[in-house]
Chains A and B, each alone.
Chain A
Amino acid sequence: MIDPPLAVLAELTHRCPLQCPYCSNPVELERSKTELSTAEWIRVMREIADVGALQVHLSGGEPMARPDLDQIVAAARDAGLYSNLITSAVLLTEERMERLAGAGLDHVQISFQDSEPARADRIAGYRGALAKKKRAAEAVRMCGLPLTVNLVVHRQNLTTLEDLLTMAVDLLPQRIEVAHVQYYGWAIRNRAALMPTPEQVRSALETVERARERLRGRVTIDHVVPDYYGRRPKACMGGWGRRFLNITPSGKVLPCHAAESLPGMVFETVRERTIGEIWRDSPAFDAFRGTSWMPEPCRSCERREIDWGGCRCQALAITGDAAAADPVCDKSPDHVTLTSLTNQALAEGAPDLVYRRYGARAG
């Protein structure tokens, strides 16, 4: 008996006006002509509810690039799903925000690149992003929707974390997320430019702790230590095929948003079978589900049903073997590789950023 998933990440499109060099989308971006139609996304929202999921995160690319977003939100609401819009907000005008709220959107998350306009433009590869984002945050509040401010942090902005938090608090969010860049896909190409120093990581922990004290009962702050500085892996996606699934713009159903980096895997699409069938019975979801696939040191580890072996994509990226223990774990023989990659990234200094673009293949 396979438990139903709790949440679904729906990448409605890979198109985005921004070009952030740490984008979590795959390096092979899907083109607009392959995207699911409005009718298909509406059907997908029903299937997400049918398989038993309760929340849908509408993401991208930039989900606002879909002119039919309010129809998709309405379909999520009709299916009883809690809907969360994950957006860069540069396309989020007052008028569109009102339409989305009217369609039944539950929550908005806006990501910020920096608190200083020129630095924010440089990371986003987009002029005037910060002012638009601030206006959008105000529009979210005026519509009575809860707001999460997502602060993406890395070596080039961590020294100003206090300023970032001050900016975030001024936007009156319910929740702030301090999100260290995770090194997959695009971010691996920019690891040398973005990897934080040990001092920055330590100092960030203290800064967040002080802010939590100050803001207790008003704003919650989520903060996770960046992987390369961790000793215990995160339960990536809450365990493969346990809580979560991802749908790409063309309808591929993935156990995690980076799963296409794993070689030899075949992913089915919502055009072939229902999400329920794919969740319960497909080679990709079975591959790393549960604990029977685990080699040592995971197989006999007392934490195997806590972290579920960590992240498969990270295991592949660092060790070359998708079934190895996540090297974040200090029981992994490859844990030392992570340390040397960190040191190497720091020693390389700050090379030019490789921006996320269609057809960009540098690195």
Chain B
Amino acid sequence: MPRLARGVRTRFDPTRQKWIVLAPERLFVPDEIAFEIIRRCDGTATVGAIADDLAAAFHEQRHVVLKDVTALLSDLAEKGVVVT
């Protein structure tokens, strides 16, 4: 059940009109899909549940979504943004 790592938080930036991910010594602007994944990493939803939710919300095939979610989360875990 992925969650944001200690010290990582998201906020909407009124200057840039974008969601930002803030982490120790780094910050980045996720694209829309990445942000939809990140904001579901609340420590209670499984990777499967996140994929279910996104597939339903965006009318996409679940196996395609699951692949994207898994790839993004493994990248974010490597960077220390998400803990799985």
Contact = CB atoms under 8 A, between A and B. Distances in A.
Interface of A: 4, 6-7, 52, 54-55, 80, 82, 84, 106-107, 109, 144-146, 148, 174-175, 177, 216-217, 219-220, 222
B22 A174 contact: no
Pick the most buried of A52, A82, A217: most chain B CB atoms within 10 A of its CB.
A82
10 contacts: A7-B27, A52-B13, A54-B11, A54-B20, A55-B27, A82-B27, A84-B25, A109-B25, A146-B24, A148-B24
A177 B80 CA distance: 14
Contact of B24 (A80, A84, A217): A84
Given A220-B79, A220-B80, 10 more contacts: A4-B15, A4-B16, A52-B16, A80-B11, A107-B7, A107-B24, A174-B5, A175-B80, A216-B78, A222-B25
Contacts of B16: 4, 52
Nearest to B13: A54
Contact of B7 (A7, A145, A216): A145
A175 B77 contact: no
A99 to B, nearest CB: 18
Given A54-B27, A216-B78, A82 B6 contact: no
A175 B80 CA distance: 8
Contacts of B79: 220
A174 B79 CA distance: 10
B5 A106 contact: no
Given A52-B15, A52-B16, A144 B6 contact: yes
A175 B81 CA distance: 11
Contact of B6 (A4, A55, A174, A220): A174
Contacts of A52: 13, 15-16
B7 A106 contact: yes
A246 B60 CA distance: 46
Contacts, number: 54
Contacts of B25: 84, 107, 109, 148, 175, 177, 222
B63 interface: no
B9 interface: yes
Interface residues of B, number: 17
A227 B11 CA distance: 35
Interface of B: 5-7, 9, 11, 13, 15-16, 20, 22, 24-25, 27, 77-80
Given A52-B16, A54-B22, A54-B27, A82 B80 contact: no
A175 B24 contact: yes
Given A52-B15, A216-B78, A217-B78, A146 B7 contact: yes
A126 to B, nearest CB: 25
A132 to B, nearest CB: 22
A219 B78 CA distance: 9
Contacts of B6: 144-146, 174
A106 B15 contact: no
Nearest to B6: A146
A81 to B, nearest CB: 9
Pick the most buried of B7, B13, B16, B22: most chain A CB atoms within 10 A of its CB.
B7
A52 B7 CA distance: 21
Contacts of A54: 11, 13, 20, 22, 27
Contacts of A219: 80
B37 to A, nearest CB: 18
A55 B80 contact: no
Contacts of B20: 54
A106 B9 contact: yes
A220 B26 CA distance: 12
Contact of A106 (B13, B22, B77, B80): B22
A55 B22 contact: yes
A107 to B, nearest CB: 4
Contacts of A177: 25
Pick the most buried of B11, B15, B20, B79: most chain A CB atoms within 10 A of its CB.
B15
Contacts of A174: 5-7, 24, 80
A6 B5 CA distance: 21
B21 to A, nearest CB: 10
Nearest to A217: B77
